[in-house]
A and B are shown apart, each in its own frame.
Chain A
């Protein structure tokens, strides 16, 4: 051992490191404050400013008329996608987890990992090519003659499920794996039938994970912009599309900060929903240890 390292290791353990180690966190915290915090403060400040003066006009405008419709549309779409996606994802995960084929399980899990990241522009185009006005399936089945259109609320929901269901699978598989066979057997041994097992044990144990999944799916659908922009443009009222619209200057002169007010609205909604998520996740982690 060389002399300098001897000196270092001889120093009281942790003493020197502790006094300096906080330095390692400074770049990260400074970066977050500067790059993330400043825009947030600007959003907050800008929301309450119109034509250079303090005003609540932006926030008031952002919860009225077309903006309100857009916010409601976004919340409705996200809630639908979250609930349906969570249900379908859970059933799919259960079907895979209980399957005898290990290959199937691996394949579905890998595919879910990829598809849950498959959003944005490519997703929209894949669906447009499939079920759009001149899509392969649309023409093959003659759907256009029965008035089919992908470019509406339900079409968006169908497309959003394409990344939401896999995300739910990724979230819920570990929880399903965590349901111990002993619990089911102990329940049976105490006279419970399958339904009673699920009602008293299975579903309650899964609930935090399921709710957490719903929240994640909601957040994903709520924040999605690219897919909607490429698919429906402005025909379905969504708050993300309205913000983009306002940012691109499609607002009355002097009303530019409405985009910031809408952003604040979105952050508040997303924040409220996320606030439910973290404590739930902690609880399920404890149960499924």
Chain B
């Protein structure tokens, strides 16, 4: 079993006035695990459903190994899919669920049961074949759904937020499990998620979607370190927005002059996007900065620092927390390297910083 190449060409899909896909172009290499990442409504699920055949694009084409399958009905496509939740057939035993596709293809009972058993062993649940879906935990159900999706040896595996309904702990173990299986089978896999941590930790490449368009596609490290646009920068990981002023291709921020990376906005007043780990903090009784809150995370600690009328998040080594306790006066500086900027959004400052903290933490 090896993976197929999947191409999305100019996919466009309109739902009663809402543009779900707005000309999406993307090539997925054989054997690759690509994550579609984006906020609700960005079109990632629609794109996946176009590949599965549950959705017909208004324009554009889906190609698998250079063959146009856009008009092939869903039940004739060579792609296994795992749904968000509760997709196991409740009236069939686990074994029969896994063997469903083989039964539809009229494979002999003995053969399909043997194959089902093989798959149950593959997902590490060899003893549950006789049980029914409602007797399994959510994590077990999703494993079985994965086994069912793999039963017909598809050349493409589609995962539609398969972990989002699970407990945090199960989620992490299952995501490693999926990645392990995917690598050993070498199957081309599209993984839809809104959880950037999931996307970054599992995928070979991450495609960030926004309003039906591809914002950036890159490997996780590039995406994190060199986001192509402010949207990606903000959606992936935590980001500070610090007021700055552009002059030429440089920007002055916190008293430092740093080169601007990427596009330079027309207005001189900008916000400079800086990762918390690119913020350096040193105790200094004379400085204006003050530590407000310190949350310890083991190897690092995240500080919330008051800096005049803005707040800045900074990640410092965990052992520094004692000398950077809340109330400590600190000097703040940025690591010397090119930074991304975006046009200032007046009201966004504090709201964005606070809003980002709980949602998009990367530890």
Q: Which of A188, A191, A204 has the largest number of chain B CB atoms within 10 A?
A: A191
Tell me, rounded to whole Å, the shortest Cβ–Cβ distance linking A287 to chain B.
4
Question: In the complex, A201→B100 CA distance in Å?
Answer: 10
Which single member of A182, A191, A193, A204 contacts B86 (CB below 8 Å)?
A: A182
Q: Does B223 contact A (CB under 8 A)?
A: no
How many residues of chain A get a CB closer than 8 Å to chain B's CBs? 21
Q: Does A205 contact B (CB under 8 A)?
A: yes
- A185-B83 CB under 8 A given contacts A190-B101, A190-B152: yes
- A183-B89 CB under 8 A given contacts A189-B80, A190-B151, A191-B104: yes
The main secondary structure of chain A at its interface with chain B is helix
Within 8 A of B (CB), among A164-201: 180, 182-183, 185-193, 196, 200-201
Q: Does B317 contact A (CB under 8 A)?
A: no
Contact B92 A200 (CB under 8 A): yes
- A186-B87 CB under 8 A given contacts A191-B75, A192-B100, A193-B75: yes
> Which residues from chain B contact A191 at a C-beta distance below 8 Å?
75-76, 101, 104-105, 152
Q: Which of A186, A190, A192, A287 has the largest number of chain B CB atoms within 10 A?
A: A190
Q: Does B91 contact A (CB under 8 A)?
A: yes
Q: Which of B90, B100, B134 has the largest number of chain A CB atoms within 10 A?
A: B90
Contact-residue bracket for chain B: 20 to 34
> Which residues from chain A contact B87 at a C-beta distance below 8 Å?
180, 182-183, 185-186
Interface 1/0 per residue, B83-103 and A, CB below 8 Å: 111111111100000001101
Question: In the complex, A289→B135 CA distance in Å?
Answer: 13
> Which residues from chain A contact B145 at a C-beta distance below 8 Å?
186
Which single member of A186, A188, A286, A288 contacts B89 (CB below 8 Å)?
A: A186
Contact B91 A201 (CB under 8 A): yes
Within 8 A of A (CB), among B126-150: 134, 145, 148-149
Measured CB to CB, the nearest residue on chain A to B81 is A189
Which single member of A180, A192, A205, A287 contacts B75 (CB below 8 Å)?
A: A192
Tell me, rounded to whole Å, the shortest Cβ–Cβ distance linking B139 to chain A.
17
Question: In the complex, A191→B52 CA distance in Å?
Answer: 11
Contact B90 A185 (CB under 8 A): no
Interface 1/0 per residue, B8-32 and A, CB below 8 Å: 0000000000000000000000000
Q: Does B274 contact A (CB under 8 A)?
A: no
- A287-B54 CB under 8 A given contacts A190-B101, A193-B75: no
Measured CB to CB, the nearest residue on chain A to B103 is A200
Which single member of A180, A189, A193, A201 contacts B79 (CB below 8 Å)?
A: A189
Question: In the complex, A182→B54 CA distance in Å?
Answer: 11
> Which residues from chain B contact A186 at a C-beta distance below 8 Å?
81, 83, 87-89, 100, 145, 148
Q: Does B123 contact A (CB under 8 A)?
A: no
Measured CB to CB, the nearest residue on chain A to B151 is A190
> Which residues from chain A contact B90 at a C-beta distance below 8 Å?
205, 286-288
Q: Does B74 contact A (CB under 8 A)?
A: yes
Tell me, rounded to whole Å, the shortest Cβ–Cβ distance linking A208 to chain B.
9
Tell me, rounded to whole Å, the shortest Cβ–Cβ distance linking B145 to chain A.
8
Interface 1/0 per residue, A192-228 and B, CB below 8 Å: 1100100011001100000000000000000000000
Interface 1/0 per residue, B46-74 and A, CB below 8 Å: 00000011100000000000000000011
- A190-B100 CB under 8 A given contacts A185-B74, A286-B134: yes
The 10 tightest CB contacts between A and B, nearest first, are A190-B101, A182-B87, A287-B90, A188-B74, A204-B91, A188-B75, A189-B81, A182-B83, A186-B87, A192-B104
Could you list some 28 contacts between A and B, CB below 8 A?
Answer: A182-B85, A182-B87, A183-B89, A186-B83, A186-B88, A186-B148, A187-B104, A188-B53, A188-B74, A188-B75, A189-B74, A189-B75, A189-B79, A189-B81, A190-B101, A190-B151, A191-B75, A191-B101, A191-B152, A192-B100, A196-B104, A200-B100, A201-B89, A201-B91, A205-B91, A287-B91, A287-B134, A289-B134
Binding site for B on A (CB under 8 A): 180, 182-183, 185-193, 196, 200-201, 204-205, 286-289
Q: 6 new A-B pairs (CB below 8 Å) besides A185-B81, A186-B87, A193-B75?
A: A185-B83, A186-B145, A188-B53, A189-B80, A189-B149, A190-B148
Binding site for A on B (CB under 8 A): 52-54, 73-77, 79-81, 83-92, 100-101, 103-105, 134, 145, 148-149, 151-152
